[in-house]
Chains A and B, each alone.
With several copies, the nearest count.
Chain A
């Protein structure tokens, strides 16, 4: 039968490093309880971002939460940032062990 797990949604965002602090403040304000950030580079519709200097650095943000909260956060990103920043976001279904944390 296996371990008891529960489903949650993982929201992953690839975007510009220049707005890291702004997005952290947004997440805090929106009641997001946890997130993980790491450095990245890449290419998309806004061209190559090769992390060769501050202006072209990307980050990856990952947030595990329930589906409604994930949609709320993504909705916020969509209205505020999608049109002006290099940004890509997607949902993945994941299983967590301690559902009360997320």
Chain B
């Protein structure tokens, strides 16, 4: 098993056993800044060696995908799981968006199998963070007058995550593979061990979701496992439509299947206050995130390969 997954499991078990282990919150913040920058840099340096124009249709495609996933999740939560409107909207928003940690694990998984991923997947990662937030808000409250669109737009486009991804990409693109040479030692070579440390803390955080899960268990587990499977299929479909490589299709499936646990919760807490944040987090962090990194990624890769063969 990949050592970064072992770090996750270790954090999870330590959390369940009630260990005092705890990363300083500043360290966690710093690690996530590093990972976002590194992903951006890697994507950007790849983009530097190819024309940018073909990116446009891909961006449009994943925006549509993000909107679709959010609507689908909302419909499912309302009709099959009888969620009330605000909670369904908030939860749907999480599943329509993406998880950077899941992206990072998939990148490590694909790399260790020698599977290339198109550099623009990092762009698509950044793009896919956003539409679900806006759709989620509209679902929760309709298009009302007193929605503070300015601050929501700010939250969506200038949030820390998107800024760092895009900034890293800009630096990587401007520097190119040659220019980044002197900084590879940190941002590329140490990516995996840093990801391990980050996942250890993720394991601790996930372990804290178990209580909530026990309370609402069945519903959340069912949705948290079912939704990513549906999303992955749509992701694979989109990837094939865009003519991505096997690695690229797997990655897009993983992105579609992943659920946000940083940007979206922060935005929903402000925009849809009536939604209980504990529910969406228990789903996205407590079920979907571990499922994706432990079983989902290999599964999506297998599904992608099957489809590509046929």
Instruction: Report which A residues bind B (CB closer than 8 A).
Output: 16, 18-19, 21-22, 25, 51-55, 57, 81, 84-85
Contact = CB atoms under 8 A, between A and B. Distances in A.
A18 B25 contact: no
5 contacts: A52-B204, A53-B25, A55-B265, A55-B277, A84-B273
Main secondary structure of the interface of B (DSSP, over half): helix
A18 B277 CA distance: 11
Contact of B269 (A19, A51, A52): A19
B151 interface: yes
Contacts, number: 31
Contacts of A22: 151, 270
B104 interface: no
Interface in B191-222: 204-205, 208
A38 to B, nearest CB: 14
Instruction: Specify which of A18, A53, A57 lies most central, judged by the most chain B CB atoms within 10 Å of its CB.
Output: A53
Contacts of A85: 273
B270 A19 contact: yes
A6 B184 CA distance: 61
Q: Which 8 A-B pairs have the closest CB atoms?
A: A84-B273, A18-B269, A84-B274, A53-B205, A22-B270, A18-B266, A55-B265, A55-B277
A81 B269 CA distance: 11
Q: How large is the interface on B (under 10, 10 to 19, 20 to 34, 35 or more residues)?
A: 10 to 19
Nearest to B155: A21
A77 B60 CA distance: 41
B82 interface: no
Interface of B: 22, 25, 28, 151, 204-205, 208, 262, 265-266, 269-270, 273-274, 277, 281
Contacts of B208: 52
Contact of B22 (A16, A25, A52, A81): A52
A41 to B, nearest CB: 11
A51 B270 contact: no
Nearest to A18: B269
A57 B24 CA distance: 13
A47 to B, nearest CB: 8
Nearest to B208: A52
Contacts of A18: 266, 269-270
Contacts of A55: 265, 269, 277, 281
B282 to A, nearest CB: 11
Nearest to A80: B273
B198 to A, nearest CB: 12
A53 B31 CA distance: 13
Contacts of B274: 84
A37 B277 CA distance: 22
